[in-house]
Every structure is written in structure tokens, then in C-alpha cells.
Amino acid sequence: MDSYSTTTTSSSSSSSSKLLFRQLFEKESSTYTYLLADVNHPDKPALLIDPVDKTVDRDLNVIKELGLKLVYAMNTHVHADHVTGTGLIKSKVPGVKSIISKASGSKADLHVEHGDKVSFGDLFLEVRATPGHTLGCVTYVSGEGPDQPQPRMAFTGDALLIRGCGRTDFQGGSSSQLYKSVHSQIFTLPKDTLIYPAHDYKGFTVSTVGEEIQYNPRLTKDEETFKSIMENLNLSYPKMIDIAVPANLVCGMQDLASKA
Ligand SMILES: N[C@@H](CCC(=O)N[C@@H](CSS)C(=O)NCC(=O)O)C(=O)O
Ligand SMILES: [Fe+2]
């Protein structure tokens, strides 16, 4: 198991951590980007989950205004509907490291696997493999412990959406795998765990594990019914899929790399 830390010396556990949290939205792809930081740590280390190329300047400006030090730009999976902002962020903020799962097959500075921890100051996110929407999807769950935020927070990417879930018809998707991932890795979290997805198309911002166990119209069904629902979604492919997937496999840097 790897552990990625922002501190090279053992951190002072006497200074209690304090989470700063912001939910940011990109309207063309209806994507949520999440900003987290430990503002009680002297460095105020911060990370971004699922940044979008189009809103990188907005996100970096907020980070600057709040006096944070961005250390990680991470993705829950290889997105099909927008180009990730991680590559652009790395070109604008030296020292930032990109993170994605090893199973995604995508380039990044650090590759995470199930059980890894991503630390920022005295806080951390636990990596849970939640394949099914894509083969390499992970959910980042806020750490457990006296210094960690309560209730816990789960950044589910497209594995679990509020009252929905990610489609399973491309990028190595599998409805039976997604069903198992959500039931074994997300629905087993404490019921008050906050669910923060990568997208919302209906105006929702946050849910809880308990709410989704009770009201998710797809995942409350038995596995066979779920599979049938997923086979009959009849969604059109994301408009940007042919641009986004190749770009995101190289950290969103395709254009910049070809001009370098
Ligand atoms: N219309 C959008 C794409 C919408 C879409 O397919 N969303 C994905 C998540 S992004 S890979 C999805 O899984 N949706 C599930 C659902 O039930 O809506 C576009 O053209 O970009
Ligand atoms: Fe996706």
C-alpha cells in the first residue's frame, strides 16, 4: 500500500487539522470540481478533485485568494465528456502532482490503487476502487479518525450520482461490476457519509449514503433489474468523447504535448 503525503517529516499531530471545502461547478459539462485543504497546517496544503480545463483559471484564483498551496490535482477517472484540468494546472503551478488510478491506464505523476491514502497536511483521502462506469474509476473517501472531518465525505466520480449512476456502455464499463462496486464500497460507508459526485444534471449538489440506499432509482433494485435499466438508458455518446478520452489519457496535455 502506498501513501502519498505532502509532508516529508513526521507531521505534528498536536496541531488539529481543519478542513476547508469548496464545491465548484463547470456548467457546459455539468461537472463538479472539489477543493479541499487543511487550513490549520502551516502550509495550507490543498488538492483539487476533477478539475476541468475550462475553469482552471477560476479554480487557481480561488486557491490564491484563500492563501492555499495546491499540491495535488487528481481525477476520479478518465472523463469522456470534458478535458481534465490537471495538465494545464501542472503547466501553471510548478510542483503540483497529478493523480489518477493505476487501473485507468492514464499518464499521471502518481498512480493510486485501492487502499492507498492521499495525505494533505494532517488530513487524508482513502482510495476505494469502484470500477463499472470505467475500469479505472475510484472513489476518494475522507479519512477516518479524531482529526478527520465528520461526517465522512465520498467523492464518487461517476460511479454513484445523486439518484443515479454513471453509464456503463463504454470505456470498459460493466453494469454488474458497477452494482458490486457501489454496494460493497459506497453503501457500506456510514449512512451520514456525504456523497459528492462528479456530475449532476438535475440541480442536486450533495446527498448521503443513507439517502441513496433508500431512494436511488437504479441501485435500490436487485442486480438483474439494475442491469436491465442500464442496458436501456439509450443515452447518446458524450459530445466530446473523441477529444476528451485521448486527451485525458495523457493528463489533458495532448495539445500542449504536440506543440512542445
Ligand atoms: N450529455 C452529456 C453527457 C451525459 C453523460 O453521458 N453523462 C455521463 C457522465 S460523463 S462520462 C453519465 O454517466 N451519465 C449517466 C446518466 O444517467 O445520465 C454530453 O454530451 O457531454
Ligand atoms: Fe465519466
For the chain, domain boundaries: 18-246
Distance 178 CA to ligand 1 centre (A): 15
- Report whether 73 contacts 96 (CB < 8 A): yes
Mean pLDDT, residues 96-106 taken together: 98
Looking at the CA of 77, name the nearest ligand.
Answer: 2
Cell triple for residue 43?
502550509
CB-defined site of ligand 1, < 6 Å: 29, 80-81, 158, 164, 166-167, 199, 201, 233, 235, 238-240
Ligand 1, atom nearest to 241 Cα: 21
In this prediction, residue 7 carries a pLDDT of: 39
CA of 201 to the centre of ligand 2 (A): 13
Phi and psi at 244, nearest 5°, equal -70, -45
Burial of 65 (0-12, 13-18, 19+ CB in 10 A): exposed
d(CA 251, CA 14): 37
Ligand nearest to the CA of 130: 2
How far is it, in rounded angstroms, from Cα 73 to Cα 132?
Answer: 23
Residue 239 CA: nearest ligand 1 atom is 20
Query: Percentage of the chain with pLDDT > 70?
Result: 92
- Overall size of the chain counted in residues: 260
User: Which ligand 1 atom lies nearest to the CA of residue 201?
Assistant: 18
- What number does the ligand 1 atom closest to the CA of 240 have? 21
Cell numbers for 56, please give them.
482552471
Least distant ligand from the CA of 230: 1
DSSP 102: G
What CA–CA distance (Å, rounded) separates 213 from 221? 10
3 state DSSP class of 68: coil
Task: Give the residue ranges of DSSP H helices in the chain.
Answer: 56-65, 86-92, 175-181, 209-215, 223-231, 241-248, 254-259
Structural contact between residues 122 and 143, judged by C-beta atoms closer than 8 angstroms: no
Is the pLDDT assigned to residue 243 strictly greater than 90?
yes
Distance (Å, whole) CA 85 – CA 52: 4
Ligand lying nearest the CA atom of residue 160: 1
Q: What is the mean pLDDT of the chain?
A: 93
CA distance 130 to 115: 12
- How far apart are the CA of 74 and the centre of ligand 1, in A? 20
Q: Is the pLDDT of residue 125 over 70?
A: yes
Position 253 confidence tier, pLDDT thresholds 50, 70, 90: confident
Distance 65 CA to ligand 2 centre (A): 30
Q: Residue 12: what pLDDT?
A: 38
The domain defined by 18-246 carries CATH number 3.60.15.10: yes
Strand partners, 25: 32
Hey, what amino acid is at 112? V
The ipTM, to two decimals, is: 0.99
**pLDDT higher than 80, residue 15:** no
CA-proximal residue: ligand 1, atom 9 (nearest): 166
Which residues are placed with Cβ below 5 angstroms of ligand 2, an ion?
158
Mutation choice for ligand 1 from 167, 169, 174, 218, CB with most ligand atoms inside 8 A: 167
Smallest CA separation from ligand 1 atom 20, residue? 238
Q: Tell me the three-class secondary structure of 116-148, residue by residue.
A: CEEEECCEEEEEEECCCCCCCCEEEEECCCCCC
